[in-house]
Structure 1
Amino acid sequence: MAVDPGWLAAQREQALAMEREIARVVVGQARAIRLVNIAVFARGHVLLQGDVGVGKTTLLRAFARVVGGAFARVEGTIDLMPADLLYHTHITAEGRPAVDAGPLIAHGPELAVFFFNEINRARPQVHSLLLRAMAERSVSAFNREIALPHLLVFADRNRVEREETFELAVAARDRFLMEVTLDTPASAAEREALVFEPRFHDTDALVDTLPAGLVSHRELGALSAALQNYIQASPALRRYALALWRATERPAESGVRLAQADAPDLSQLVLAGASPRGMSMLLRAARVAAWLDGRDHLVPEDLQAVFHEVLAHRLVLQPVYELRRAALVPALTAAILQAVPAP
């Protein structure tokens, strides 16, 4: 089916307007806002990283408001069970037991953003239910199938504490389109604004200043499919993407070098490179990046702009190097982009 370039251009202006509006309430996070915007229009789930209080929840609530739809949140705890996402049991005012819909299904098909705070505090059984919802955008509850057609899942991990936590399995991490990091703003002016301007101290009032439904959550699926078909990749760009893929699997054979003095032998570093799904996600995100920059075709910079966020969490290191993952993987993805020649 042919795609109307004029319609895509108009939708792009709305997408950029979303970024500008969100930047008013989430300061100092321009790159994170762009990456989450890419994920929204690529219809991909996001794993967030960042210390407590850097604005992760505010960012997600802001996106939920500008795309419309409902926002739901759950806190990961050691005693959280899969049923807790689907059912809420309580005693009514009349003293009778009752069962209502849980946070994942309470809003029905209107749920747009679901935020799982500290996902690694929840048990693997909870992860399994969430992964089904992420992959199929549906769950079974109350003896029926409940569709969640507009669902985008955002989750963050507790990076500080290790007791009573369950790290996400490789297959679980692979379901997330991106892992995006939010750092404390470095600018002195931004830090001063966050501390001294009262408007940043009331998240509810701050988010309410955003226009609702700049882009309808009900139209995102069709829009995403249209731009994926519209943005083209040249033969040279395809060869470049495949070369990047090979470099994630066999970095030493691809001429990748790490600059650290204590760098490991690259022929022994990677246990598994990017998966086919990971590479398809890379191209999916890159097409959205190209669209946001006003192009109808991919260039190497589009892949490079999202390469680390899409692929880093999918790379599996040999067990002996996993404890050094936070230092080695960013260095590895940067070295791959440097080593693989771009067309």
Structure 2
Amino acid sequence: MTDLITSRDQALRFEHQLNQIVIGQTAAVRHLLLAVFARGHVLLEGNVGVGKTTLLRAIAHGLGGDYQRIEGTIDLMPADLIYYTYLDASGKPRVDPGPLLSHRERLATFFFNEINRARPQVHSLLLRAMAERSVGAFNQTYHLPHLQVFADRNRVEREETFELPAAAKDRFMFEISLDTPTDGAVLQELMFNPRYHDTDRLVQEMGSGQIAYYQLNDVAAGIQAHIHSSDKLKAYALALWQASHNPAKFGIRLADVDMAELIQAGASPRGMSYFIRAAKTRAWLEGRDNLLPEDLQAVYAVTMAHRIFFSPLYAYRKDELMPQLITGILAQIAAP
């Protein structure tokens, strides 16, 4: 397992560097690193100017490979991801590959900014590319074996936006929230240290291609095969998943909530698979070859919260109730 040990050392150095570029976001950085090595797509949510784009640029730069970014707009069409048309210098019409096809096998990081501004038809094409890591166009199939999608939603502005449906959210391994730092020292550093005022220079400080993007799939497969779990831990993981469907069965209560009416849908089997993949990756980063309850607990919220859907009676209180539900599940279900 020398390769996994070497990869872990590289991953931890990478994490340290990311935390020097985007300060005050250590939890988000750790979750993004887990997603990279578990090969899962990520949905980001946060206010404007908290460092989402800088963090993703730094990740793309550190992994090497090619990076593409597209802006979600109301007039964006599915074809805009595949090709774009224009008139060349001689006035003749031309068709060139779009953002999903322009780099093909070298495309490693794809950033969809403000995905909720794009139409559902655009979401559908992107989801197919995420699931199959390939795109059909021009009577051919183009493979994108190293594609990892990061999509972000602006939580403040809701005009001209389309809420992602359950099927779309379920394709993302994690939903990670980046909040404005509250630590006074961090805020002063961001305000007064010129280092953080030049994003381009800041990202370039990190060496490119420190972790070979084309090896990540093999590293991820090795992690999943190397980390083992006990029967008791498997039963614990199953209970955590079942609680997302029927929390009342496990004695979980929330104030002023009829628990029998709270849940419309719990986490999917795909979500359970992502949950275990992420937990195993955390165990590997912690230098172990076995799963512990804290590995499951550390990734439960970012893996499960966007897969639990409340009934219309309580959906408007999601921001208030979801953290309480997650906390209640982790507190009520006994770890082995």
TM score, norm. by length of structure 1: 0.96
Measured after TM superposition, the shift of residue 303 of structure 1 is 0.4
| Aligned counterparts of 2:223 and 2:61: Cα–Cα separation in 1 | 23
Provide the rounded CA distance (Å) in 1 between the counterparts of 2:47 and 2:154: 8
Question: What does residue 139 of structure 1 align with?
Answer: 135
Partner of 1:94: 90
Q: Name the structure 1 match of 2:14.
A: 18
Quote the offset at 1:108 in angstroms.
Answer: 1.3
Deviates most, 317-326 or 290-299: 317-326
| Cα RMSD, aligned residues only | 1.0
Match of 1:322 in 2: 315
Shift of 1:51: 0.2
For 1:326 and 1:140, locate their aligned partners in 2 and report how far apart those are by CA, in whole Å: 38
Deviations 1:98-148 (CA, angstroms, capped at 9, x unpaired): 111111211111111111111111000000000001000010123211111
Question: What residue number does 1:118 align with?
Answer: 114
Distance 2:170 2:283 in 1: 23
8 Å CA contact 1:121, 1:158 repeated in 2: no
Instruction: Judge conservation of contact 1:290–1:296 (CA < 8 Å) in 2.
Output: yes
Correspondence for 1:333 among 315, 322, 326: 326
1:230-283 residue CA offsets vs partner (Å, 9 max, x unmatched): 10010110010011111111101111122x4xx311111001111111111100
Alpha-carbon offset, residue 157 of structure 1: 1.2
How far the C-alpha of 1:22 sits from its partner, in A, is 1.0
Match of 2:235 in 1: 239
Percent identity of the aligned residues? 57
Partner Cα distance (1:232, 1:267) in 2: 35
- Asked if 1:159 corresponds to 2:152, the answer is no
**Alignment partner, residue 294 of structure 1:** 287
Partner of 1:47: 43
Question: Aligned to 1:167, what secondary structure does the other structure show?
Answer: coil
TM-superposition CA deviations, 1:4-43 (whole Å, max 9, x none): x222111100000110111111111111000000000000
In the alignment, structure 1 residue 312 sits paired with structure 2 residue 305: yes
Q: CA deviation at 1:161?
A: 2.5
Q: 1:34 aligns with which of 25, 30, 33?
A: 30
Q: Which amino acid aligns with 2:302?
A: E
Shift of 1:319: 1.6
User: Structure 2: any 5+ residue segments left out of the alignment?
Assistant: none
Partner of 1:266: 259
Which TM-score applies when normalising by structure 2?
A: 0.98
Alpha-carbon distance, 1:68 to partner = 0.9
Q: Distance in 2 between matches of 1:144 and 1:202?
A: 42
For the 8 Å contact 1:50–1:182, the answer to whether it is kept is yes
